[in-house]
Amino acid sequence: MRIGVALREVQRSEAGLAVELRRMADEYQDEVEIHHVAQDLARWSDEHVHELAAAAARHGEDSETLAGPGRAGPGSPPDAGGLLAAGSDPGLALLADLRRLYLAAAGVSVDWELLGQGAQAVKDAELLELSGRCHPRTLRQMNWANAMLKVLSPQVWAR
């Protein structure tokens, strides 16, 4: 079934988001809100990956070959160049990473959207329920990255 592609896609991007969140938690031990909340939010992505694996199995997809934790992040980092390129300035580096995180979460959000649409099309109530349950948390992850950008950026720009 083609819906398997959508399932795989969201699973892959969720796993990548979990990796990205944990990487940020590691990298920013001294930015403690980022450090702690990123870990909490990575847990959500883990749970989603887990549930997606179960759903994939029920849909006859081989979840083993799909993404699991540890698999590479969401493809190439979106827009690594430009003003926000992680240079020697730690403030700018943090903004660049949050920006990347925001975009990664946005990617996952799109994938959930697609899965939800697919689930409607094939009238798969279970998948629809899954995406209805998980997608809002993806949006919250995205909002968090956006909020941290808003809060932290003025001090970086003002210097």
What is the contact surface with another protein in residues (CB under 8 A)? 30-33, 36-37, 39-41, 43, 90-91, 140-141, 143-144, 146-148, 150-151, 154-156, 158-159
Q: From CA 132, how far away is CA 39, in angstroms rounded? A: 23
**CB-nearer residue toward another protein: 102 or 112:** 102
**CB-nearer residue toward another protein: 114 or 152:** 152
Classify residue 111 by burial, with Cβ atoms within 10 Å: 0-12, 13-18, 19+: buried
User: Nearest approach, Cβ of 105 to another protein (angstroms)?
Assistant: 11
**CB-nearer residue toward another protein: 7 or 41:** 41
User: Nearest approach, Cβ of 113 to another protein (angstroms)?
Assistant: 18
Q: From CA 8, how far away is CA 67, in angstroms rounded? A: 8
**CB-nearer residue toward another protein: 60 or 154:** 154
Give the residue among 138, 133, 77, 73 at the shortest CA–CA distance from 110.
138
User: Nearest approach, Cβ of 7 to another protein (angstroms)?
Assistant: 25
Q: From CA 77, how far away is CA 100, in angstroms rounded? A: 7
The type of residue at 148 is M
User: Nearest approach, Cβ of 11 to another protein (angstroms)?
Assistant: 22
